[in-house]
């Protein structure tokens, strides 16, 4: 029995990891693009982007998952996401990436705006190019500023991945819950908690180590 | 021939005219002190010299060569502006050291980046980098921070940070070194060490433009004094003339306020 549960939970956890990894992969760069949009000098773009960010951050991820998955089919009459589990998985990923990119964008924006203007001016006066100023001066200061809030979001994402089950993506909690129906036992569900704890524990450790690495200077 | 000649500089921010027809000139090794009340445009003037702001009118000459002319500055590319900037150095009121670099690396960074643009960098990079390192170490000695040069800015006092900032500005050997109230952000007991470093520079014939509220210091080190008010140069002359025998009503009132402090 234990063996079966473990195999099944592992399979679910793999899906969880996939959602987690791919969401970060997509949301890190997309968030940066959104951050550039929301700080753009071009007003219409800036307000459009800010509006989207407001909507995404102000509504539940659960709702966004449902709308993104069912929306295209029911509103446009076309099945965007493809059939079966891979279609549901793609839709879930799209929702996660958009949602997290919006949160990340605010973190990036805060990080970039937090670097004092005097830093780039000091670089300019010393004859540096804009890209030298960005890569040699600003970037590391931004990273140092964003690691703690980014870390919080990343830990939240670990747990948020479980929301994917509302559109029947078989992540780990789904796998655990199956055993209630099939064998009438609840301990596999408890056991999924162990997976989460270990995973978020490892991440917390790694993030802490990164913060420590950046402690050699202060901003 | 003047090292620096500033002619009819004007600058507007929206509706407000912050600089009106400002001009002065400076010979090699001379020190000019710019004094004036808050909001009179002193910082803006230094920022114009360092091309952090673009003047709306006027010309800037360095060593007789015209560097900036408001009537055709639009022709300048970013590369031109970077090159022009190297004629000037700027020491900020708030130091603005790069926090992730040690004091020594702060001094070296710009030079190392510029060296990469040299055509002989590939062949000679070892010698070039060694020169930069030796030059920077020499500057740290000059500002009295040899024992602190491997520390990061947050490990230094304000006065020490400002001395690193001075060394950093000197590293590229600018023709004119500008200071924007270099001691205003410091505790009173730390101003002395910074003023001492600047004083030592006058003995090395460094051409300097110093915006300051330290009147006694200005009187001691400056060859020329400019009093600015409301964007105008109200009075200019030797320290003896401006401090000793001010002619303009506004200068007199300004100096009275300081002597009463
Ligand atoms: N970027 C800007 N946009 C709009 N107004 C500005 C800007 N920078 C400066 N000003 C205005 O220009 C005027 C001159 O400012 P500046 O900083 O040059 O004065 P200052 O003589 O250096 O004063 P202080 O002694 O307080 O440093 C002020 O009225 C200020 O509000
Ligand atoms: Mg000022």
pLDDT tens-digit series, residues A49-59: 999 999 999 99
Q: Are A20 and A158 in contact (CB under 8 A)?
A: yes
pTM of this structure:
0.90
Helix (H, G, I), strand (E, B) or coil at B36: strand
Q: At what angle do helices B103-115 and B158-170 cross, to 10 degrees?
A: 20
**Which one, of B82, B81, B11, lies nearest residue B48 by Cα?**
B11
Residue A30 has pLDDT above 90, yes or no: yes
CA dist A193 and A190 (Å) reads 5
CA dist B57 and B8 (Å) reads 7
Residue B3 has pLDDT above 90, yes or no: yes
pLDDT tens-digit series, residues B10-27: 999 999 999 999 999 999
Return the bridge partners of B91, or none: B179
pLDDT tens-digit series, residues B33-53: 999 999 999 999 999 999 999
| Residue B98 confidence class, pLDDT cut points 50, 70, 90 | very high
Give percent of chain B above pLDDT 70: 99
Q: Are A112 and A144 in contact (CB under 8 A)?
A: no
Helix (H, G, I), strand (E, B) or coil at B10: strand
At residue B18, the pLDDT reads 96
Cα distances from A190 to residues A9, A16, A179, A185, A203, in angstroms, run 11, 16, 11, 10, 21
For chain B, what is the radius of gyration of the CA atoms? 19
At residue A81, the pLDDT reads 85
At residue B96, the pLDDT reads 97
At residue A122, the pLDDT reads 98
Instruction: Please tell me if residue A121 touches chain B, with a CB cutoff of 8 Å.
Output: yes
| Residue A85 confidence class, pLDDT cut points 50, 70, 90 | confident
**DSSP letter, residue A75:** I
At residue A74, the pLDDT reads 85
Residue A153 has pLDDT above 80, yes or no: yes
| Mean pLDDT, chain A, whole residue set | 93
Return the bridge partners of B177, or none: B89, B208
Question: From A117, which residue of chain B is nearest by alpha-carbon distance?
Answer: B96
| Mean pLDDT, chain B, whole residue set | 95
Return the bridge partners of B33, or none: B210, B225
| Residue A98 confidence class, pLDDT cut points 50, 70, 90 | very high
Residue B261 has pLDDT above 80, yes or no: no
Q: Are B2 and B61 in contact (CB under 8 A)?
A: yes
Domains and CATH numbers, chain A: 2-216 (1.10.3720.10)
Instruction: Please tell me if residue A215 touches chain B, with a CB cutoff of 8 Å.
Output: no
pLDDT tens-digit series, residues B187-211: 999 999 999 999 999 999 999 999 9
Query: Which residues of A fall within a CB distance of 8 Å from B86?
Result: 127
Burial profile B142-171: b = 16 or more Cβ within 10 angstroms, e = fewer: bbebeebbeebbeebebbbbbbbbbbbbbb
Kindly give the distance from the C-alpha atom of residue B214 to the centroid of ligand 2, in angstroms, as a whole number: 13
Quick check: B78 and A129 CB within 8 A? Answer: yes
Question: From B86, which residue of chain A is nearest by alpha-carbon distance?
Answer: A127
Kindly give the distance from the C-alpha atom of residue B127 to the centroid of ligand 1, in angstroms, as a whole number: 44
pLDDT tens-digit series, residues B134-185: 999 999 999 999 999 999 999 999 999 999 999 999 999 999 999 999 999 9
Residue A2 has pLDDT above 90, yes or no: no
Quick check: B100 and A116 CB within 8 A? Answer: no
Alpha helices in chain B (DSSP H): 42-49, 78-85, 103-115, 121-142, 158-170, 188-203, 215-221, 239, 249-259
Instruction: Please tell me if residue B154 touches chain A, with a CB cutoff of 8 Å.
Output: yes
* Average pLDDT of the residues in A191-211: 94
At residue B73, the pLDDT reads 79
Query: Residues near B221 by Cβ (< 8 Å), separated by ≥ 6?
Result: B31, B33, B198, B199, B202, B210
| Residue A82 confidence class, pLDDT cut points 50, 70, 90 | confident
Instruction: Please tell me if residue B97 touches chain A, with a CB cutoff of 8 Å.
Output: yes
Residue B122 has pLDDT above 80, yes or no: yes
pLDDT tens-digit series, residues B146-159: 999 999 999 999 99
């Amino acid at each position: 029995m234990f063996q079966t549960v473990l195999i099944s939970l592992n399979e679910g956890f793999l899906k969880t990891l996939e959602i987690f990894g791919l969401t970060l992969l997509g949301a890190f760069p997309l968030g940066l693009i959104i951050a550039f949009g929301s700080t753009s000098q071009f007003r219409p773009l800036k307000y459009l982007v800010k509006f989207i960010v407001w909507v995404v951050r102000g509504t539940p991820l659960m709702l966004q998952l449902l709308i993104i998955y069912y929306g295209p089919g029911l509103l446009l009459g076309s099945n965007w996401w493809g059939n079966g589990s891979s279609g549901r998985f793609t839709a879930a990923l799209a929702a996660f990436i958009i949602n997290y990119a919006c949160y990340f964008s605010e973190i990036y924006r805060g990080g970039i705006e937090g670097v004092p203007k005097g830093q780039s001016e000091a670089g300019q006066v010393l004859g540096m190019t804009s890209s030298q100023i960005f890569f040699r001066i600003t970037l590391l200061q931004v990273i140092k500023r964003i690691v703690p809030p980014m870390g919080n979001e990343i830990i939240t994402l670990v747990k948020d991945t479980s929301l994917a089950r509302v559109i029947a993506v078989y992540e780990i909690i789904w796998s655990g819950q199956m055993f209630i129906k099939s064998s009438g036992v609840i301990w596999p569900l408890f056991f999924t908690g162990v997976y989460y704890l270990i995973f978020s524990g490892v991440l917390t450790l790694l993030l802490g180590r990164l913060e420590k690495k950046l402690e050699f200077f202060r901003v | 021939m003047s090292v620096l000649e500033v002619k009819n500089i004007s600058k507007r921010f929206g509706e407000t005219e912050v600089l009106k027809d400002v001009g002065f000139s400076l010979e090699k090794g001379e020190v000019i002190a710019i004094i004036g009340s808050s909001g009179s445009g002193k910082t803006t003037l230094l920022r114009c010299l360092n091309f952090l702001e673009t003047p709306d009118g006027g010309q800037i000459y360095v060593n007789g060569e015209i560097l900036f002319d408001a009537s055709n500055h639009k022709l300048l590319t970013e590369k031109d502006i970077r090159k022009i900037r190297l004629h000037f150095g700027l020491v900020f009121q708030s130091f603005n050291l790069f926090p992730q670099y040690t004091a020594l690396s702060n001094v070296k960074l710009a030079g190392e980046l510029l060296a990469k643009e040299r055509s002989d960098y590939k062949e000679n990079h070892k010698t070039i980098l060694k020169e930069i390192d030796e030059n920077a170490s020499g500057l740290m000695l000059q500002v009295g921070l040899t024992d602190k040069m491997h520390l990061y800015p947050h490990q230094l006092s304000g006065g020490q940070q400002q001395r690193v900032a001075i060394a950093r500005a000197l590293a590229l050997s600018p023709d004119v070194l500008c200071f924007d109230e270099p001691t205003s952000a410091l505790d009173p007991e730390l101003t002395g060490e910074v003023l001492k470093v600047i004083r030592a520079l006058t003995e090395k014939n460094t051409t300097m433009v110093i915006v300051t509220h330290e009147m006694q210091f200005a009187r001691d080190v400056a060859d020329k004094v400019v009093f600015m008010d409301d964007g105008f140069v109200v009075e200019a002359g030797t320290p003896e003339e401006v401090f000793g025998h001010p002619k303009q009503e506004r200068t007199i009132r300004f100096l009275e306020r300081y002597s009463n402090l």
